[in-house]
Amino acid sequence: MSIAVFPGSFDPLTNGHLNIITRASYLFEKVVVGVGNNTSKSALFTPAEKQALITEAVRDLPNVEVAIMSGLTVQFMAEIGAKYIVRGLRNGKDFEYERDIAGVNSALADVETVLLLAKPENQNISSSMVKEIGSMGAENMAKFVPPVVVAALKERLNAQKE
């Protein structure tokens, strides 16, 4: 069975992430969204909250699962029998970063990285940007994140203001 992992911090899940997950689900028999923790950023949602939000967003994709992971991506992949890493590319800067990470992952384990180009409407979206515009009171967040995330994002950001 071809199993791919789409790792990330997903804080929060964006429409760009969801598009990559959907497209990967057509390419692989099973896709596992690996929710990790980016220690260089302060998280808005807990790993369990992110897992629940992503699970709801992908509920119509039967071959997609969501799991919390810790440690190296290649260690998580070995645990679940995955051989492929899926990553999305928005621009040249992403390419250079992902190329370097793919090289390291390949040196650590027998894995292949598959890079999917972001759709034009998602090329300027990042989780950090979504959090920033949401915290500034942007109303139409559905352009950037799935509906389940819109609600959670508004609730969390409003709670932080209080």
Q: C-alpha angle with apex 115: 118 to 75, nearest 5 degrees? A: 125
Residue type, 120: P
Which of 23, 90, 119, 154 is the catalytic position?
Answer: 90
**Is there a contact between 11 and 40 (Cβ–Cβ < 8 Å)?**
no
Catalytic annotation present for 59: no
Which of 9, 30, 127, 131 is the catalytic position?
Answer: 127
* Residue 22: both structure tokens together: 């959907």
* Residue 142: both structure tokens together: 């559905």
Which of 17, 50, 87, 131 is the catalytic position?
Answer: 17
d(CA 92, CA 132): 23
Which of 41, 59, 99, 143 is the catalytic position?
Answer: 41
- Return the residue matching tokens 């804080």: 11
Q: Where are the beta strands (DSSP E) in 14-99?
A: 30-35, 64-68, 84-89
Give the single-character DSSP code of 34: E
Catalytic annotation present for 2: no
Catalytic annotation present for 90: yes
Which are the catalytic amino acids? Answer: 17, 41, 90, 127
